A and B are shown apart, each in its own frame.
Chain A
Amino acid sequence: MSLEDNNQEHIVRSYSEELNLLTSTVVRMGGITESQLNLSIKAIENLDVSKADLAIKSDLELDNFEKEIEGLVTRLFVLRQPMAVDLRNVMAALKISSDLERIGDYAKNIAIRSKSITDDKVLPIMEGLVSMGTLASECLRNVLDGYQALDSEAALEAWRKDEEIDKLYTNVFVEVVNFMEKNSGSVNSGTHLAFIGKNIERIGDLTTNIAEEIYFMVRGERLTDDRPKADKTATITSNEVIND
């Protein structure tokens, strides 16, 4: 029994209203997360400190959203004891808000690191990171649209795209290590780049979590096939990098 076929209101109307409020709060939180991520990407693209500061600031807002959603969810559990689609709805809201909060943390961390990069020798590598970030942001937007539209297919599509982010990450990682091997004076900036890449990769993973939660919320079945994994950075050795 999927959520799309579920058009009837509850007998207790205030229950439907509370569920609607929960969903719209998650949607608003998603919007803020998305624009925070975009600010962080702008911050690394142009090493733009004012964008970085904005991204850092909106983290507090996300923390507050997460608390608000937790409050709404607790209230629904206590007062309504949601079942079936409603239960899946409430669970999804709780998990998505916590994933969004963590995405916010990573975006903030990207912004903070962008402020510590002063060495413009790294700018050519930044391009790869920006493509990665842009793709991650696009996935997040599609997933959040899927949440609002109860579209499990859209969520599924974004879920599959994570493989591309992982591939880009592997490339960026190799580039960064190469760069540091050649420019021993830029290790500090290079390390920041590597972490920024890692952060974006984590954002991609959290976005796929959200996609999985939406899929279960809408369809009542779990995504089972293993998500393709293309992040190979954990096994890359220095020799491979040099010979690449």
Chain B
Amino acid sequence: MEDSIPKMRVENLDVSYFDKQALFSINLDITKNNITALIGPSGCGKSTFLRCLNRMNDVIDGCVVKGKVELDGSTIYDQRIDPVTLRAKVGIVFQKPNPFPKSIYDNVAYGPRIHGLANTNSELDDIVEKSLIRAGLWDEVKDRISDSGTSLSGGQQQRLCIARAIAVNPQVLLMDEPCSALDPIATARIEELMDELRNRYTIVIVTHSMQQAARVAQYTAFFHMGYLVEKGATEKMFTTPDDKRTQDYITGRFG
């Protein structure tokens, strides 16, 4: 991952839940305007790692994070950093679409409102429209913008959550298995969307689908039992991985 500037840099990251260590001295650069896929068997620490990137672990009971996580060269684990502001810069989209039980409009407007990104109603309208366009959802919802977000299909809800995340102008977008509840068509639309979004954002995605990682990510990192075993260009990882554990996992040979 040497060939472009790191947007985020993780050094010697250790994470524990109470006295159980979940991640062991992880080093990983997240390159700018690329998609980085995190893969590995269930429980290997992918979600834990992802949550370290925007301090979502702060609110988890017993979770202790040690080591360095930088965004554009400055640490994000600092007393002076406001986690809410950080999470606007480093947004997250979860596995299960989780729109608020509010209108489509309010779902997207929520972030810009609390961060004071719009001075007037028409500015807010603008942000909502632009975010929905970027999330590839505008054409489908522009005539029903006051309907409840929960009235949308699963795939549409997930794109709504993406619109909500990008409405606050993030720099990094974290996605934790964003397509696992979606059918192949909805999945393809999200993947297509991710590819467009990466011009503007840096994306980190956790996925259980090797094919998805291969399709969308420029870089892939393989986690196993709390260790980062191998990282590199996606094509290399999937054709000629260096480590036997990577190979066994991606070829379906894991016990």
Of all chain A residues, the one with the shortest Cβ separation from B209 is: A81
Chain A interfacial residues counted at CB < 8 A: 20
* A20 to B253 Cα, complex, angstroms: 15
Please, what's the 1-or-0 string for A74-115, where 1 marks a CB less than 8 Å from any CB in chain B? 000000111111111000000000000000000000000000
| 11 further interface pairs, Cβ-Cβ under 8 Å (given A1-B244, A6-B247, A83-B252) | A1-B240, A10-B252, A11-B253, A80-B252, A83-B214, A83-B239, A84-B240, A84-B241, A84-B251, A85-B247, A87-B239
Contact present for A11 and B210 (CB under 8 Å) = no
Is residue A12 within 8 Å, beta carbon to beta carbon, of the partner chain?
yes
Of all chain B residues, the one with the shortest Cβ separation from A11 is: B252
Is residue B158 within 8 Å, beta carbon to beta carbon, of the partner chain?
no
* A221 to B236 Cα, complex, angstroms: 10
Q: Spell out A's residues near B (CB within 8 Å).
A: 1, 5-6, 8-12, 15, 80-88, 220-221
Of all chain B residues, the one with the shortest Cβ separation from A6 is: B247
Contact present for B240 and A83 (CB under 8 Å) = no
Contact present for A11 and B254 (CB under 8 Å) = yes
Contact present for A1 and B242 (CB under 8 Å) = yes
* A227 to B109 Cα, complex, angstroms: 63
* A86 to B250 Cα, complex, angstroms: 10
Contact present for A84 and B252 (CB under 8 Å) = no
A83 interface neighbour in B243, B251, B254, Cβ under 8 Å: B251
Chain A residues with CB under 8 A of B253 = 8-11
Chain B interfacial residues counted at CB < 8 A: 19
Of all chain A residues, the one with the shortest Cβ separation from B236 is: A220
* A46 to B243 Cα, complex, angstroms: 54
The 5 A-B residue pairs with the shortest CB-CB distance in the complex, in nearest-first order:
A220-B240, A83-B250, A8-B253, A1-B247, A86-B251
Of all chain A residues, the one with the shortest Cβ separation from B210 is: A83
* A221 to B254 Cα, complex, angstroms: 24
A interface: dominant SS: loop
Q: Which of A1, A10, A81 has the most CB of B within 10 A?
A: A1
Is residue B211 within 8 Å, beta carbon to beta carbon, of the partner chain?
yes
Please, what's the 1-or-0 string for B172-201, where 1 marks a CB less than 8 Å from any CB in chain A? 000000000000000000000000000000
* A6 to B251 Cα, complex, angstroms: 11
* A27 to B214 Cα, complex, angstroms: 31
B238 interface neighbour in A5, A6, A84, Cβ under 8 Å: A84
* A83 to B214 Cα, complex, angstroms: 10
Of all chain B residues, the one with the shortest Cβ separation from A219 is: B240
* A100 to B98 Cα, complex, angstroms: 56
Chain A residues with CB under 8 A of B240 = 1, 84, 88, 220-221
Measured CB to CB, the closest approach of chain A to B141, in angstroms, equals: 34
Chain A residues with CB under 8 A of B254 = 11
* A150 to B63 Cα, complex, angstroms: 48
Is residue B248 within 8 Å, beta carbon to beta carbon, of the partner chain?
yes
Chain B residues with CB under 8 A of A81 = 210-211
* A9 to B252 Cα, complex, angstroms: 9
Is residue B73 within 8 Å, beta carbon to beta carbon, of the partner chain?
no
Measured CB to CB, the closest approach of chain B to A82, in angstroms, equals: 7
Contact present for B252 and A15 (CB under 8 Å) = yes
Contact present for B244 and A84 (CB under 8 Å) = no
* A221 to B238 Cα, complex, angstroms: 13
* A118 to B214 Cα, complex, angstroms: 59
